[in-house]
Structure 1
Amino acid sequence: MPSTPRARARAQTMDDILRIGREHLATDGAAALSLRAVARDLGVVSSAVYRYVRSRDELLTLLVVDGYNALGDAVDAALAQAPTDDPQQRLRVLGRAVREWALAEPSWYGLLFGTPVPGYDAPADRTVTPGVRVIAALQQIYGQAYRAGLLAEPAQSIELSSALAVSFGRVRDSFELDVPDWLISRGVTVWSALFGAVSFDVFNMYGPDTFADRAEVFELQLDNLVSLLGFRR
């Protein structure tokens, strides 16, 4: 916690700037985010905001980092309540937590996983670590399942190009994984399929009347992800 009144006031102003920034994401979209508009809603001149946030891109980066951490916190909180010795159930809990957060924060989710903002490139040195929190949790789950012998191996071994083998090796090193290539391949598919399913729901890509119960559809999709990862029946 900030230790002086001035530090506390600065922290409160930053919180207000980010809160207003999130509100503008919801009403105007990320591409239209404007520090002048944030300053207006904050009740100060625009030059005052620049003392806290240097540019629109800086504000976007702060919102991206906060968004990844908010999603990661939601997933961590859900997994903390899940059985520690049941990776299949933990996979389902993780998936539900991602969907619940995304539906509660659609504009924030859209900033992270929707259409890229024209002219904005998220700085990797600030966004990668929070951005992989959920992926790291997912990898821990399938690593646990592999060590426990819960996953069926493919009937045929997979063959990788030398370049992709290097990429898979970097994944192992980055996340301290001790799993074979076939499981990394399945894990990538589960990762992309999970966020694809959530995005279809959040962005209403199914159409309004296609499915009577999207929550039930998502549970079926989780069943498919469990099968795809190779959990034995």
Structure 2
Amino acid sequence: MGRREKQREITREEIKALARQQMAADGTAALSLGGIARAMELTPSALYRYYASRDELITALIVDAYTRLADALEASTVNHAPGDYAGRMFATGLAYREWALAQPVDFLLIFGNPIPGYQAPGDETMLPAHRVFAAFLNVLQQAYDVGVLKPSDEHHAMAERACYKGPLPPQSAISHIEPLVSYVGVTGWAKIHGMTMLELTHHLPGISDPEAFYRSECRLWALDVGLAVGPVSAGG
């Protein structure tokens, strides 16, 4: 990468950083290229040399957010043995919440209220989004393949209704997803995402220790599908 290209990339990253600051202060819907241009002491026309439109900037932010979340989920299992399916699944679930709490602006950008007038281009955002879900499915499918995953009869009955339709990322550790695994993955993701979103938006009334609550519920879900995670405390 030449000097000019490096400087261009630095400026693009600065624009994205200011966009995140703007969204943190005023919400995702308030994102304004004009406001960013003023903060950088640029004319709006100069800013358009880096991002042709507000939608292009939003798309770049969304792709970044999905990519960083997927990276965090994948990295969470590196200290677990490949055959420690319960430990890997639990670590992935914990990493999901930890990343959301550490990066609330990015998390709410991809999972919060839609931005008025913005339509995400699927050809750019879908694969990074599928990487997030694949981080869970990779572990579950591997556990299923060796007979460790043991869903209930009800899981089996519902499985055909939740067959995973998304493309698997090129770097995925698996080549296929069984409908049963897809359904189990959806139930797990719905649980951890729901708890995370409620905590992030301060809608967990009566829960004095959200982390302990989250860990306990993750463990109970894992037990429900045959992945026995040992008793865990908030510190371990």
Task: Give the TM-score, by structure 1 length.
Answer: 0.88
By how many angstroms is 1:159 displaced? 6.3
1:79 counterpart SS class = coil
Mark the runs of 5 or more structure 2 residues left unpaired by the alignment. Answer: 230-236
The aligned runs of 1:1-233 (5 Å cut-off) are 2=1, 4-155=2-153, 157-158=156-157, 164=161, 168=163, 170=165, 176-179=175-178, 181-207=179-205, 210-231=206-227
Q: Is the 8 A contact 1:95 1:194 kept in 2?
A: yes
**1:173 to partner: Cα distance:** 7.7
Aligned-partner residue type, residue 211 of structure 1 = I
Deviations 1:117-167 (Å, cap 9, x if unpaired)?
Answer: 122111100001111112111111111111221122434652677xx4xx7
Q: Write 1 or 2 for the structure with the bigger share of helix.
A: 1
In structure 2, distance between residues paired with 1:227 and 1:27: 40
The separation in 2 between residues aligned to 1:130 and 1:137, in whole angstroms, is 11
Give % identity. 33
> 1:106–1:202: 8 Å Cα contact kept in structure 2?
yes
Structure 1 residue runs without a partner (length 5+): none
Structure 2 distance, partners of 1:95, 1:89, is 10
Gap change, CA 1:79 and 1:232, over 3 Å in 2 = closer
Shift of 1:177: 2.1
Cα offsets for 1:9-55 (capped at 9, x unmatched) = 11111111111111111111110100001111112111110111111
Deviation readout 1:47-82 (Å, 9 max, x if unpaired): 110111111111111110000111111112212223
Q: C-alpha root-mean-square deviation of aligned residues, in Å?
A: 2.2
Residue 76 of structure 2 aligns to a residue whose secondary structure is: helix
